[in-house]
Chain A
Amino acid sequence: MKKSLFIGQRVLSELLRDKRLFVLSIIAPLFLIFLLKIFIDSMPQSFPAARYAVPFGAFIVHFLSFLLCAIVLVEERATGTLERMFVAGFSRISIVVGYLLGYLILTTIQAIVVLTETMWLIGLNYSIHTVVLFFLTIWMLAMVSVMLGIFASTFARNTSHILPFIPLVVLPSLFLSGLLVNPEQLPKWAELVGMLLPFRYANDIIRELLTGNSDATAIYMNFVVLIGYGVGLMILASRTLRETD
């Protein structure tokens, strides 16, 4: 697993040196949350800002880490560096774990930045306990997104092949996983579809925390599902990552 560390190190130093990726991972979420703030400000006083603020922040992190990871990995395939990594002796699992390690730090920064900005701009006050759990949820969701990105990238030969995955990840999460409408209000089948998406579970935790007197078991269960989702995707991605054509 030493080799995963080398990959993680390389992925991170690449991300930090690439302005485009840096903007996408840190500046873009900051800007999107600013837009959310403008939107909330334009709504009548009775608008439940808290109901949407943190879930929206989580969604931004979810989507951007997915996109970022998928793009970087597809570029590796397109430029031939992935091929070179394989021939140099990196295994599929070491690449998947390496990517995860590389994004670990970036994702942590992302989760902190997004959560802080959301609470500060929208003027929300939560207990330390709640904030820590928010952070853990967003962070965990981001790791799952990285796995999702790796998984999606295994079906793409070049960056444009990632495009179809964008609506596929965004739209169902938006409508079916509880960001806009509570899933219980959806038709049964739509709720079931929503349950296939990782965002549903992160959103459930956040909603539970927002109720004030949250149910610890429900939170715990959702964390377990989220972690299981991530591990499942990791195994899947390390199998679908094509080493030979």
Chain B
Amino acid sequence: MVITTRQLSKSYGKVSALNCVELEVPQGSIYGVLGSNGAGKTTLIRMLVGLLRPSFGSVEVLGLNPIRERYELRKRIGYMPQSTALYENLSVRDNIVFIGKAHLIPNLREKVDQIIEFVGLTTRARDPVNNLSGGMKKRVSLGCALINDPEIFFLDEPTASVDPHLKRKSWDLFRKLAANGATLLISTHLMDEALLCDKLAIMSKGEIVLVEKPQTILQQGVLSISMTKKNQIFTELVSANPKAVAAKLHDYGLATEIQSVQIGHPNLEDIVLQIIDSQNR
């Protein structure tokens, strides 16, 4: 495990932002943290990179304590904050170069060129960040996190307000990074992105309510099966578990008189909301 937390808690005065979070993230995986506004995603990530002191509990990242051994740890991680966190008057290039210098990266020039090309900003490299759109700024911010080839990436909503094309490209990159052995912890409130993760922790009100593979979570939902028989449509709701679907189809025996079968997709959003609701009750 490259990230382990035990009973990790954080409160701001009376507000409890994080409550007894137990996290275990294996190396080389894309670990999603899904939760609505105020669920505690940012609080969790800031604690993992050593920017927040836990009120209670313990954290270990790469076997290091993020606060006491922060200098050691920070060489090996990349962090993309939720806010843009860029110098608005400086160019795209200068922003990335500055973070590269912090890490004392050799051959910084070429490295920065590569990153700028990857995030698709080669033609805008000399423009001040001020002049970029919101999504482009996110790309610059991602570029800054890539500069030191980290072992773990902490990405706080990396693709919020990024267009679908680049979102796909970003996820392709995330996959490639994970395939090369890097670990990615990605927070999101978007269900379609959550589905792309290897493992998903669902957060609500400062607690982790479920940790599962997204596919397994999907199976907890229901899907609809609509069949046309003698030109009449029958619709039934079945558990999204593949075995349950098969059993249902066995019931019908798929006689020749069944002219068509349509299977509706279970919706992760519905399932997650249901899980969160049942937790809060």
Contacts and interface: CB of A to CB of B under 8 A. Distances in A.
Given A10-B90, A79-B85, A89-B75, A245 B51 contact: yes
A231 to B, nearest CB: 24
Question: Interface size bucket, B side?
Answer: 20 to 34
A3 interface: yes
B67 A88 contact: no
Interface stretch (B95-103, B214-222, B267-275): B95-103
A10 B70 CA distance: 24
Nearest to B100: A88
Contacts of A229: none
B85 A81 contact: yes
Nearest to A5: B101
A87 interface: yes
Contacts of A3: 101-102, 104
Given A81-B87, A83-B85, A87-B77, A13 B53 contact: no
A192 to B, nearest CB: 37
A159 interface: no
A240 interface: no
Tell me the dominant secondary structure on chain A's binding face. Answer: helix
B128 interface: yes
B81 A14 contact: no
A7 to B, nearest CB: 8
Contacts of A86: 51, 74
Contacts of B249: none
A17 B144 contact: no
B86 interface: yes
Interface string B154-196: 0000000000000000000000000000000000000000000
B71 A84 contact: no
Contacts of B101: 3, 6
B98 A10 contact: yes
Contacts of A84: 79, 81, 85, 99, 144
Given A88-B102, A89-B74, A244 B90 contact: no
B71 A89 contact: yes
A90 interface: yes
Contacts of A6: 98, 101-102
A90 B102 contact: yes
B52 A18 contact: no
Given A80-B82, A87-B50, 4 more contacts: A14-B89, A81-B87, A84-B79, A85-B102
Interface of A: 2-3, 6, 10, 13-14, 17-18, 79-81, 83-91, 243-245
11 contacts: A6-B101, A6-B102, A17-B90, A80-B82, A84-B79, A84-B99, A87-B77, A89-B71, A89-B75, A243-B70, A245-B52
Interface of B: 46, 49-53, 67, 70-71, 74-75, 77, 79, 81-87, 89-90, 94, 98-99, 101-104, 128, 144, 148
The list of the 7 closest CB pairs from A to B, nearest first, reads A80-B85, A88-B102, A17-B89, A80-B83, A87-B79, A6-B101, A80-B81
